[in-house]
Structure 1
């Protein structure tokens, strides 16, 4: 599997896993009537796949930066054997091209299993809100092993999905509106595919997990899903300067619409659209390719829009969120990928001197205190020390605190993925990735080449995830017991490669969360 690689542009990693059944497989029996017309998918022995189904009108021309509108019905039978276009995004070398704003499509994988209506799992891909597509994830094994219907979704990205400007309705939240439009499509059409519209699990990783967090807090998402899974979701806490990526100033996980509108005004000025009366019309005429040069200035939804009126972190802490069962967790070594890519790869590995400078830049007068808790002598290299520190501060401990808030009000299951990243290859880097950000995706959406140990962990994860989708409880016969996370018993399930056991661990102790809850806790 070495040779596959992930492209990380701003805040997360999108793992491209593509292996769809060919159109040569018979279409017979793969006809479904949706609310907008018939679709013809691909039939295989144990599943059917329907790809490129529009769930909203194309947000092009005058519809750029507007809330998603209903798609138009089509006559006859629509071919659903290929994915729809990827949403416009920068295209790293060797990755699929995404230059289309006509991209609001989804894909449905249906197992050919006996029984009644099946649970539906709706997947929101990661990619820092600036890259990725639902079709990057092959859901066949997840659907057939777990007996669930899996829907993967495209949504507008970067400047097209999160742009904000004074007077622009929906500023900073179009990506979230797209995702909710897809959930409404699922509610209308799940029954046609054999699914249960009253049993929908919303799940996602990184930016996708952060989106799930936002929908938990969004009043407009009420009733659109009955369970939630957040994987490596950066939706609570704040980010000190230079800790996520080199040179990036401190930022909040959830900026305000006012902040985003200020960014939008600067973009409008740069593009020559400064007249208040005509600015939006001017901006809608700017070519897609030119806007893509400004893509990574818009990397997270804003708070204060109609779709996200309140800060999700505060909503979770105060109980103002949708009361659904939750699985929430991280990988054990989240930040190793970012450290490898942005420090070790460019030929400027973190040295002892660099480590001290990074600490001062990020933590100021608290730098010495942080250094005492993460002494270089404890780690094989300064790069591994920085990866451990940033993993604990940015992912493990904010997730632990979020789980404590969730567990006060809903049934919560916490996990830490401890398998290895056997897919990613960073040419020129021998930095050990271990269980880095996104490593679990090759197990949840299995790729070819898994050996027996990895297949066992993959099957364990899939059975946990799909049992949760079915009942709201991941426990199922034949798997290690997964205890609920409670304020008095905050246990986390380690998902480990055999022969290491899958079972409870103390994440707070392993990641020094008591320390990060104290004076060193980052603020912006």
Structure 2
């Protein structure tokens, strides 16, 4: 049953991803002198919009194809003339989901820059580099239209593609970069930002690294990677706690290199390369679509590697991380989307099924009974209870723990997104109200898939306030300003329409004392 329900959850993520896969009709592209920018590799020609400029599909590294499949990223080759940067490049290879129809194009190491329009500022603007989520298996930087962050926040927004799935995280012995190619790509993008962003009006000495879900876990990894030293000055972690337990579902953090190598050997066997004289050469000849079909649903970076010497959770607990201010948070109902998918797949959560479902997801001696007692199900509509278990165990309480470790060394600002009427991320009707589930804060910061946000007036005000907080944090490391409710570092700021208030009850509401004793 555990395998079945894990598959259901993977399918649910794909359904949620389709919420921003559609792209609206293209607006006419306008170009002028301000949309042509010189980089070290050559000129790029972007597009002018109402109040902002975009430069899309800029290569930050050479295509990882042929012998460079499963190689550390290398500098992109220069080009002559003006490179068209008016539309996104291909997403990295992935199954269908967030990217309609999926992708098999390995020439995907590109990024997108959004910057306010008009005359250049008196001083360079702060830079926010965004790492997308998707379980290290799906997603694309181009899904996140950052023009509202750029214009209202007066920041330069950079969204990044990085290698995913087996192409991003294959591990084999004597293979440089093994297990962490996707993380190495992120670092290559940050080095590009340091070298090039000034030409786009950005400040290479004021870079905030931000991400959600797997993007948030990526920020955690970069916080503890020696190779990322000096590449960013602040960190924003949304729904990706650095200290989640690998023994719990839905938490793509990191795995030991030995485990990653075993998974790599299994992949080689599944695609017919396990007994080849040169396994890596054989794997490099396998078509992308076959690799995607054979790879595991879940992917994680590997630690005990040069890029990631330690498990990020252990490194942060030991205080071994880059000393940068951190803004970190979760959504109030993180687990409800997964619970809804399980119910819709024919596994109702009732008093009669509850103990079996809990045991399937927490198959460790004594845990299931304790969890069922802490979170009793009294009716046939127990989906929200299971959602609370997932959200508390994998997101809310690990985030609280991460914050307590970070705050001993750096300034930490903590939030909980709590709009119980957040716009749904899918057109499907859920079996129960989802509240503020995983990823529901994203439409308040970005237009997903290039589509305008469908928000009420009160939600628009919340979105503006969140952008103000995020942008001020990127600018000064302090989100507070005269136009927003005060955000104290001693409390969790609850973000809801017209109700932005500090709360001291988040840990008790999410049963964190219970999860601390459970281990």
Give the structure-1-normalised TM-score: 0.91
Structure 1 residue aligned with 2:192: 185
Match of 2:242 among 235, 249, 265: 235
**C-alpha separation in 2, matches of 1:423 and 1:398:** 25
**C-alpha separation in 2, matches of 1:337 and 1:423:** 10
**C-alpha separation in 2, matches of 1:509 and 1:13:** 31
Match of 1:105 among 110, 126, 132: 110
Structure 2 residue aligned with 1:54: 59
**CA-to-partner distance for each residue in 1:97-121, whole Å, 9 max, x for gaps?**
3111110000000102643100000
CA distance change for structure 1 residues 333 and 69 in 2, over 3 Å: closer, same or farther?
Answer: same
**CA-to-partner distance for each residue in 1:433-464, whole Å, 9 max, x for gaps?**
11000000010114332220110110011000
| Pair 1:115-2:119 in alignment | no
**C-alpha separation in 2, matches of 1:480 and 1:207:** 29
How far apart are residue 96 of structure 1 and its match? Answer: 4.9
**C-alpha separation in 1, matches of 2:19 and 2:397:** 24
Match of 1:16 among 13, 20, 24: 20
Structure 1 residue aligned with 2:417: 417
Structure 2 residue aligned with 1:203: 210
Matches within 5 A, 1:436-451: 436-446=437-447, 447-451=452-456
Name the SS for the 2:366 alignment partner.
helix
Structure 2 residue aligned with 1:142: 149
Structure 2 residue aligned with 1:157: 164
**C-alpha separation in 2, matches of 1:85 and 1:308:** 28
CA contact under 8 A between 1:15 and 1:438: conserved in structure 2? no
Structure 1 residue aligned with 2:82: 77
Question: Which is further off, 421-430 or 313-322?
Answer: 421-430
Match of 2:478 among 460, 473, 484: 473
CA contact under 8 A between 1:418 and 1:494: conserved in structure 2? yes
Question: Which is further off, 275-284 or 98-107?
Answer: 275-284
Structure 1 residue aligned with 2:508: 509
**CA-to-partner distance for each residue in 1:307-346, whole Å, 9 max, x for gaps?**
11111001111110000000011000001011112x1222
CA contact under 8 A between 2:29 and 2:86: conserved in structure 1? no
How far apart are residue 206 of structure 1 and its match? Answer: 0.1
Structure 1 residue aligned with 2:48: 43
Structure 2 residue aligned with 1:402: 402
CA contact under 8 A between 2:276 and 2:282: conserved in structure 1? no
Name the SS for the 1:81 alignment partner.
coil
How far apart are residue 477 of structure 1 and its match? Answer: 1.1
* Structure 1 runs (4+) greater than 4 angstroms displaced: 6-15, 17-21
Structure 2 residue aligned with 1:349: 348
**C-alpha separation in 2, matches of 1:181 and 1:371:** 46
How far apart are residue 353 of structure 1 and its match? Answer: 1.9
Long gaps (5+) in structure 1: 1-5, 245-250
**C-alpha separation in 1, matches of 2:35 and 2:129:** 20
How far apart are residue 476 of structure 1 and its match? Answer: 1.1
Structure 1 residue aligned with 2:306: 306
CA distance change for structure 1 residues 374 and 164 in 2, over 3 Å: closer, same or farther?
Answer: same
Name the SS for the 1:293 alignment partner.
helix
Name the SS for the 1:364 alignment partner.
coil
CA contact under 8 A between 1:130 and 1:296: conserved in structure 2? no
Report how many residues are paired: 500
CA distance change for structure 1 residues 391 and 185 in 2, over 3 Å: closer, same or farther?
Answer: same
**C-alpha separation in 1, matches of 2:371 and 2:15:** 23
How far apart are residue 190 of structure 1 and its match? Answer: 1.1
Match of 1:173 among 180, 185, 196: 180
Structure 2 residue aligned with 1:265: 265
Name the SS for the 2:198 alignment partner.
helix
Name the SS for the 1:187 alignment partner.
helix
Structure 2 residue aligned with 1:389: 389
Name the SS for the 1:165 alignment partner.
coil
How far apart are residue 185 of structure 1 and its match? Answer: 0.2
CA contact under 8 A between 2:18 and 2:100: conserved in structure 1? no
Matches within 5 A, 1:452-491: 452-484=457-489, 489=490, 491=491
Pairwise CA RMSD: 2.2
How far apart are residue 8 of structure 1 and its match? Answer: 4.4
| Pair 1:129-2:106 in alignment | no
